[in-house]
Amino acid sequence: MDNYVVCEGISYENGGISSYGQNAVAPVSGSNAVTVAPPSIKNIVYIVEDAIADAHDISACGAESVAVDFTAGTRRLVAEVQSVVRDRRKTYVIVGRNHATNCRVEYALRRAGFHNCFALNLFARSGDTFGNIVKSVDSREALLPYVLQDRSALAHLPILDYEILLNRNQPPVSSGFAQLDRYLGGGLYPWMYTVGATTSIGKTAFLLQMSDQIAMGGHDVLYFTLEMSETEMMSRSISRLTYLECKDQGLDESAGKTNLGILDGGRYGSYTPDEMEIVRVARKRYKQFAEHLFFIEGNGNMGVAEIRDIVEEYISVLHTHPVVIIDYLQLLAPFNERMTDKQNVDKHIDELKLMSRDLRIPLFLISSYNRGSYQKEADESAYKESGKIEYGSDVLIALQLQGMDTEGFNPKVAKKSVPRYIEAVIVKSRNGYIGQKVRIEYNPKYHYMREMREDEKPCLPGTLGYANETRDNDMDKRRYAMRKSTRVAVSLGR
């Protein structure tokens, strides 16, 4: 018996994908089929179209089945299937008359974490129905090759079509950093991003500001803060906004308030009316986008499973796909206390990668560096407990001091400077630029980062040029002081 697959084309309307076209039935030769060892029929659940279920009772074959209305829209159909599908250890076979619909359900189940599911190529040739197929085999085990024998890309073209439709309805999210968006292919996609840096470079400040900018664009952010409290994160954002308010009003930045200046209520009594007004305006600006920010504090034992449960519940209740940020990777609860740190991190990466793909969310991880990479330019080997981090991440972003590639660079001097000049380096990207650098002027006092223009060329602290310039400035100051003292002595008649 020839195997037939039903492939649907895509119809285009006004230059965009609007719907699926007519079915096209094409034979597939047996030589192109891939035989997969069938699992035990006791572990198989058939998700069957109502009309087929009426035609033949699958339970007569000794298998478990669930009847579903396949005429519902894709979203309703998937929701109905997910409401009855629970056990991820079982194999799920989707049986409907329209193979494209079967593939869409298979795709959605795989995205939801049910990776052992398959769409049955149910074809309407010579009046065949699912019941006739079942009757044509002499044993229940013989039924399984109909389900598993063809796994070709041709059979799965409807899944590609469905992915295209989903991407049309879920455009990339802007990070709020224009240059970074450009280097990442237009924004943030449902990928896993890992941001790494040494201490005191601004990893949390970078992603917190990005979170605020994403929220300003009306997109939700779930920020899992495993180190700092929710109030500290909010006060950092308000501190940044006081600094920006000072700049907008042309005031000296000293009128802005630091993180402690926002948190410590005892200081408010010493603030001038103008300073209190700046804090009030900053809080008002924060309220305009704070409804899109959700901070979830770690309690010392938060692991990937708990994070996934929270994100899944959020998506099911609010029907939106947030940007997820985990701060940070090395503070996640271990999967197994007996595993080494590297084994636990590898497991974390595997599960988080699946989560970003299954739930279709941009997922950011903060990772620390190993100490051997503190004094050198960032590369893939710099990430702590490295191995799966660089291989599993879709995008690797390294934050480092500008000038790290300069001979004679002194990072200790550069770290102490205000502002601090850093850069976000795209170390790895599966679908974008590699090696591009986004230069940033960072004010650590107010946790503010500004993308620098390409024509900006400051004299970088820690470099030889900066040292020479500083030495020259010091000499000029000494010469001026000597000339001034001489003029004073002459005027006094000494």
3-state secondary structure 180-230: HHHHCCCCECCCEEEEEECCCCCHHHHHHHHHHHHHHCCCCEEEEECCCCH
Q: Coil, strand or helix: which one is 158?
A: helix
Closest CA to 117 of 130, 108, 128: 108
Instruction: Please check whether residues 351 and 423 belong to one and the same domain.
Output: yes
Instruction: Please check whether residues 340 and 397 belong to one and the same domain.
Output: yes
219 lies in some domain? yes
Intervals of the chain under pLDDT 70:
1-42, 51-63, 72-75, 77-78, 121-151, 370-375, 378, 380-386, 463-494
Cβ neighbors of 184 (< 8 A, separation 6 or more) are: 172, 175, 395, 426, 429, 432, 433
Residue 22, domain CATH: 3.40.50
Which tokens sit at 170? 């879920």
Instruction: Please check whether residues 191 and 54 belong to one and the same domain.
Output: no
468 lies in some domain? no
Instruction: Please check whether residues 94 and 206 belong to one and the same domain.
Output: no
Q: What is the CA radius of gyration of the chain?
A: 30
Instruction: Please check whether residues 183 and 64 belong to one and the same domain.
Output: no
Dist. CA 156–CA 158, nearest whole Å: 5
471 lies in some domain? no
Cβ neighbors of 266 (< 8 A, separation 6 or more) are: none
Instruction: Please check whether residues 144 and 213 belong to one and the same domain.
Output: no
What pLDDT is stored for residue 23 in this prediction?
34
Closest CA to 419 of 260, 210, 243, 182: 243
Instruction: Please check whether residues 364 and 421 belong to one and the same domain.
Output: yes
What does the pLDDT look like over 333-377, one tens digit per residue?
Answer: 998 888 888 889 899 999 999 899 888 999 999 998 766 666 677
Dist. CA 376–CA 56, nearest whole Å: 68
What pLDDT is stored for residue 371 in this prediction?
64
Q: Are 383 and 339 in contact (CB under 8 A)?
A: no
272 lies in some domain? no
Burial code (b: 16+ CB inside 10 Å, e: under 16) for 331-359 equals bbbbbeeeeeeebbbbbbbebbbbbbbbb
Instruction: Please check whether residues 222 and 163 belong to one and the same domain.
Output: no
What pLDDT is stored for residue 145 in this prediction?
59
Dist. CA 477–CA 484, nearest whole Å: 10
Residues in the chain: 494
Dist. CA 251–CA 266, nearest whole Å: 24
Residue 392, domain CATH: 3.40.50.300
What pLDDT is stored for residue 62 in this prediction?
60
304 lies in some domain? yes
Domain containing 123 equals 3-169
Instruction: Please check whether residues 143 and 200 belong to one and the same domain.
Output: no
Cβ neighbors of 443 (< 8 A, separation 6 or more) are: 243, 253, 418, 419, 420, 449
DSSP tag of 254: G
- Taking the CB of residue 231, how many other CB atoms lie within 10 A of it? 12
Closest CA to 446 of 195, 185, 205, 134: 205
What pLDDT is stored for residue 460 in this prediction?
80
What pLDDT is stored for residue 293 in this prediction?
98
Place of tokens 């008359």: 97
What pLDDT is stored for residue 466 in this prediction?
55
Beta bridge partners of 64: 45
478 lies in some domain? no
Instruction: Please check whether residues 89 and 192 belong to one and the same domain.
Output: no
Dist. CA 13–CA 74, nearest whole Å: 20
* Count of the separate structural domains present in the chain: 2
Looking at residue 266, its amino acid is: G
Last residue of a domain, one of 127, 143, 169: 169
What pLDDT is stored for residue 22 in this prediction?
33
What pLDDT is stored for residue 88 in this prediction?
74
Instruction: Please check whether residues 28 and 124 belong to one and the same domain.
Output: yes
Query: What are φ and ψ of residue 426, in 5° steps?
Result: -80, 95
- Would you say the C-alpha torsion 263, 264, 269, 272 has a positive or negative sign? negative
235 lies in some domain? no
Beta strand extents in 136-177 (DSSP E only)? none
Instruction: Please check whether residues 188 and 165 belong to one and the same domain.
Output: no
9 lies in some domain? yes
Dist. CA 443–CA 45, nearest whole Å: 57
Q: Are 15 and 62 in contact (CB under 8 A)?
A: no
